[in-house]
Amino acid sequence: MFAHTFTISTLFIGFIFSNPIVSPGGDGINYELLGGGIEGDMILPDGFDPKREFDGKGVAIFGPRRWPNNIIPYDISAITNAGQRTMIESAMKILSDAVSTPIAGSTSRKPCVTFRPKISTDQVFVKIQYGTGCSASVGYSSGARTLTLQNSGCFRSGTIQHELIHVLGFYHEQSRPDRDLYVTVNHNNIEIGKEHNFNKYTWGSTVLDQKSPYDFGSIMHYSSTSFSANGLPTITPKQAGAIIGQRDQVSAIDINEIRQFYSCTI
């Protein structure tokens, strides 16, 4: 998993394929690719130029992008549907529980990251809102942070957790500098104008090297047909039988990376 943000404004109407990232409604559309940001669903911090700063190693966004005190305040007031608010806050709990630390001799756990409703003194917070596609700001930064969910296509726990992990400061797994050792990017199948979504970053200037192995099972990995022009794979794992693009739950490596980034080692 990688740390950062963006989105691409593209209509994928009619873009039908079978992969694990499609919407809960079963319409075959990957709403993560519609969010209008870099790599479809990531909104980068102000002043963060991925073209200039590309070239690093790791998963987490480079720079002071961790949320202070590991607390992520959010404003969910724009989500008017109570069931959807419940789903979002449940996804937050699932994710925060997954990365929390067991306490010996106790059934409770020590939090690693905490999502909580914003209070009046919070200067920086995540505004959760409806919009086109699914997208999120990558990492902590000054200014408005957003998490956008399309009403019809993004309300699935794994998809919301994916966007929340962007908020924590992570990029897509296949943007790792070493990804060509593990996957083949099939440039001939990429939709014209979308090639930049398959850029790699650079350890130490764009992304941190957290020494984690390449993770086909990351909830932050693209599916095989993301940004496909013809329905054929744009990304093919080099490891036989490897499955990419799951949006069910964070992987063990995802958990370790979040815990490292937020210094939740004990």
Q: Which residues bind Zn ion (CB under 5 A)?
A: 41
Place of tokens 């419940």: 86
- Give the nearest distance from C-beta 70 to Zn ion in angstroms: 21
- Give the nearest distance from C-beta 111 to Zn ion in angstroms: 24
41 versus 254: smaller Cβ distance to Zn ion: 41
CB-neighbour burial class of residue 118 (10 A; exposed 0-12, middle 13-18, buried 19+)? middle
Note if 173 is an active site residue: no
Q: Is 4 annotated as a binding residue?
A: no
Asked whether the CA dihedral 61, 98, 155, 232 is positive or negative, the reply is positive
Alpha-carbon gap, residue 100 to 107, rounded angstroms: 12
Q: Is 196 annotated as a binding residue?
A: no
37 versus 63: smaller Cβ distance to Zn ion: 37
**The amino acid at 44:** L
Please give the span between the terminal C-alpha atoms of the chain, in angstroms, as a whole number.
21
Nearest to 38 by CA among 57, 61, 64: 61
Q: Is 221 annotated as a binding residue?
A: no
- Give the nearest distance from C-beta 266 to Zn ion in angstroms: 29
41 versus 257: smaller Cβ distance to Zn ion: 41
118 versus 132: smaller Cβ distance to Zn ion: 132
CA distances from 120 to 36, 115, 116, 124, 136 (A): 30, 16, 13, 10, 22
- Give the nearest distance from C-beta 214 to Zn ion in angstroms: 17
Alpha-carbon gap, residue 41 to 171, rounded angstroms: 10
Asked whether the CA dihedral 92, 95, 97, 99 is positive or negative, the reply is negative
41 versus 191: smaller Cβ distance to Zn ion: 41
Nearest to 217 by CA among 182, 240, 246, 190: 246
Alpha-carbon gap, residue 79 to 64, rounded angstroms: 29
Report the residue number whose CB is nearest to Zn ion.
41
Residue tagged active-site, from 39, 53, 163, 191: 163
**φ and ψ at 9, to 5 degrees?**
-90, 100
- Give the nearest distance from C-beta 189 to Zn ion in angstroms: 20
Alpha-carbon gap, residue 29 to 13, rounded angstroms: 7
Strand partners, 128: 147
List the catalytic residues: 163
Feature table: binding site for Zn(2+): 162, 166, 172
